[in-house]
Amino acid sequence: MASSSSFSTCTLNRGSFATKAINFNKVFKCNFSSLPNRLPVSAKLSADFTCSRLLTSEKSLKLDQSQRLSRNGMQCCALEVEDVPTFLVGKKFQLDDVIEAQQFDRDILNAIFEVAREMENIEKKSPGSQILKGYLMATLFYEPSTRTRLSFESAMKRLGGEVLTTENAREFSSAAKGETLEDTIRTIEGYSDIIVMRHFESGAARRAAATAGIPIINAGDGPGQHPTQALLDVYTIEREIGKLDGIRVGLVGDLANGRTVRSLAYLLAKYQDVNIYFVSPDVVKMKDDIKDYLTSLGVEWEESADLMEVASKCDVVYQTRIQRERFGERIDLYEEARGKYIVDKEVLKVMQKHAVVMHPLPRLDEITVDVDADPRAAYFRQAKNGLYIRMALLKLLLVGW
């Protein structure tokens, strides 16, 4: 029985305890020896308690007499199970919108990644898919975008859907006339089935979701978050490194304004024994809210000024550009930060053979072009993975699992 967030907080001691009724009619077999490390809640297990069999019925949950185990005078008892998440085909997706990385748990992430792998097969082997035939997606972008907007539009079309698009809505929409975001959303939802929005203000996606009666996907809200980028980043790390627990990740560049690194940090915190290194100029250091969040979950992190040292021990070097558009009139601060940390062939020399360089793109000069030929340069594979993740999200939000 897979662990999930549906397990209740409980304490198991020698003896027995009562459990609540559960409206299932299934038999679960469990090996509890490793359960404390897998449960997302507090649970205490006796060292003698290694296995049991749970029977559920409409009346009550009780231990099957024929399977009752006794060791050193202890009888095995049952765990209460409630509302086990279902990822069965045809069931509704657990989320109504995709707004921030904190919405996802490991179960949902793993399930989304499975769907993304299915989408990769569709893209490569089944052109002309009609999964989303009859659905219409609106892309509402108040900031420039190439990869995110085009990958969403490609994802929708590859699944048989249609697209309504507006680029630079800040200047070429009624927003230029003073229309509120809420009024824009209420209007566009009348024309479409789902809205993918990028906005220059942090929190704008949450406002849109609170207004709309159709799904909203946050494609980046100012310096806030970029959850779909974080999903494709974690998906890429798993595919490139082969695991997500126990990895070391160096986040480099503009960590104060980079919404991608903020969302990625939130998702990495969901995995065990992850170490995160922040490497950035002083003027664009990672903000305290992210560091406090990681500390609260027991995630190891540290700040460093030595890119070479960090690169030598990391599985992932995640480089980002210094974002000039976030500095306003303070061009002096931008120039101070730009060019301080560059991934080049010298950095590659100290990196481990299995490690990868990632970047959300676009890049300027923070990764030299001669790095592209190295097999550890994963950023274009990373961008391709964005198509599969976004195909998966559109399918899940519109038609379910």
Q: Which residues are catalytic?
A: 147-148, 177, 198, 226
247 CB-side CA count, 13 A: 26
Residue pair 297/136 in contact by the 8 Å Cβ criterion: no
Positive or negative torsion for Cα 107, 112, 117, 121 = positive
Alpha-carbon span 347 to 358, nearest angstrom:
13
Residue pair 149/165 in contact by the 8 Å Cβ criterion: yes
Question: Which of 314, 289, 290, 294 lies closest to 304 in space, CA to CA?
Answer: 314
49 CB-side CA count, 13 A: 23
Kind plus residue range of the DSSP H or E element containing 44: strand 43-44
For residue 324, how far is the Cα from the chain centroid?
A: 26
Q: What are phi and psi of 248, to 5 degrees?
A: -115, 125
H helices of 212-357, in order, are 227-241, 259-268, 288-296, 307-313, 331-337, 345-350
